[in-house]
Each structure stands twice: as structure tokens, then as C-alpha cells.
Amino acid sequence: MIEQMIVNGLLAGLIYVIMALGFTMIFGIMRIVNFAHGEFYMVGAFGVLVLFGALGWPFFLAVVGGGLMAGLLGVLVERALFRRLVGDEMPGMIMSLAVGIILQSTALIVFGPSEQSVNRPFSGVWNLGASVVPWDRTVVALSALVILVAFYAFLKFSRLGLAMRAVAQDPETSSLMGVESGLVYSAAFGISCLLAGLAGGLMAPIYTIGPYMGEQAMLKAFVVVILGGLGSVPGAMLGGLLLGLSESVLSTQFSSGIALIASFAIVLLVVIVRPTGLMGRTAR
């Protein structure tokens, strides 16, 4: 029983990490709390619905296609709406709420209010010791792990990744050193939305797809980044795994409702004891 709960928690935690990475990256670089993040997750899921479900693309190609749709849309939104709000947290937050409502309403008009589904590309289970692990969730978790490693390598070794880290740490000094902040902002927002879209695409065959699916995804991402610390990428990783494990244990022992209540109780405790989160830094 314990082994099964740990396995389930780790599988869920990995996808939570991918959902939260982009959310916390935008705040770390642009100081914008993007409450439309869940709607970009929705865009990726609808991309898989169209490309994989309707057009018959290979599943992973459809996931990449849905992620790219979300990423390109994110770049356009950043250039048109968010660029002038960099560093201004309250207007940025209000703008993100407006963007989320627009995307949600657009999906409602185009696809209708009914929830839809696609066939699962992977079926069956396999055994890990005493645990029974579904293949579809295994593939999602392994894909999330690959995305996580690729994202870490991008931030650590690429010139653009280094520029993003520099802007996040000290935008004024990085600008004096020749870093083009406009390029960094566009890339950060686009990559953030790409990550959300990839997460939505990977989860599309497991859950139903609808205009309001981004709300729960946004809720999970928000809990994760508050736990780990707004703007902290390592904190998002830690927060995602902690949330996945806690939900697995509590939903197994009690119910999903108790698990949700406990998640917010943990967030309140963390905010009281350590307002910046487990690995967050103090505000600039």
C-alpha cells in the first residue's frame, strides 16, 4: 500500500512540476503572476484533441504540436499585452485574468461546453514490486522527466538560458552587460506557455478536455509555486513532488476532497512560517 502511494505520488508530482515550471519562471523573470497559465495548458490539450484525435497524427508529434501552439500564442500575447507591464505585478495579474477569460471563452465558442476525450495511445499496466502502474501514466511521467531534464540543460548551458537567469537575478545589471531584455521576456513567456501546453497535451488522453479544464491545472500550479517559492525553479520541482506525494497519501487514506483541503492547509502553514516559500528568495 505504501509503495503504491509513493509511486502514484511521484507520477503525479512530475506532471505538476512541468505545469508549475513555466508559471514560476514568468514570475521570476517578468514579475508577472500569470493566471492565464491554465488556459495555455488547455490550448495544448485541445491541440492534441485536433491533431491526434481528429487528424490522426502520432501522439507525441501531436503533443509537440499542441505545445508549440501554446508557445507561439504566448509569444504573441507577451508582445501585444504584457511587455509594457513587466515588473508591475497588479496590472500584470489583472491582464492575465483577462487573457484567461478570453481564451476560455474562445474555446467555449469553438469547441462547445461539453467535455471531450481522445483514445488513450497506451493501455495496460505493469508491476513495480507490489505496485501496479498504468502504462499511460508511466509514459506521461517519463515524458515529463525528459522535459524537465531538457529545461534544466537549456537554463544551465544555453546562451538564452543564461540570459534568462541573469535577468531574473538582476535585470538592471544584465541590461548594462548587453542582455536584450525584450528577447528574454518573449522567450520566457513563450517557453512558459510551451511547457503548459506540453503538460496539457500529455494529460489529454488521461482526463477529459473542455474549456474549463485549465482552472484545476492553474490551481495545482499555484499551490506548487507557493510551496516552493514564487520565482524559484528548484522550488517548483520540490513543490510539485511534495504535492503529488501528499495528494496520493491523503486521497488513498481518506478522499480526494480531504487531499484538496490539506493541500491548501499546507500552503497556509508554509505562508505563515516562511512567506517566500520553501526555496523562494526575498522580493527585490
The reported pLDDT for the residue numbered 62 is 97
Residue 281: predicted pLDDT: 62
User: In whole angstroms, what is the distance from residue 240 CA to residue 11 CA?
Assistant: 10
Residue type, 90: M
Write the CB contacts of 50 (distance below 8 Å, at least 6 apart in sequence): none
Angle of CA points 57, 58, 63, to nearest 5°: 90
CA angle 52–113–69, rounded 5-degree value = 40
Whether the per-residue pLDDT at 284 is higher than 60: the answer is: no
Domains of the chain, by residue range, sit at 2-113+133-273
DSSP 116: B
pLDDT, one tens digit per residue, over 25-71 is 888 888 888 999 999 999 999 999 999 999 999 999 999 999 999 99
Task: Compute the Cα dihedral for 204, 207, 212, 214 and give only its sign.
Answer: negative
- The pTM assigned to this predicted structure is 0.91
Q: For all residues of the chain together, what is the average pLDDT?
A: 88
> pLDDT tens across 69-106, in order?
999 999 999 999 998 888 788 898 999 999 999 999 99
pLDDT in tens, 127-140: 877 788 889 889 99
Report yes or no: 63 and 53 within 8 Å, Cβ to Cβ.
no
CATH of 2-113+133-273, one of 1.10.3470, 1.20.1250, 1.10.110, 1.10.287: 1.10.3470
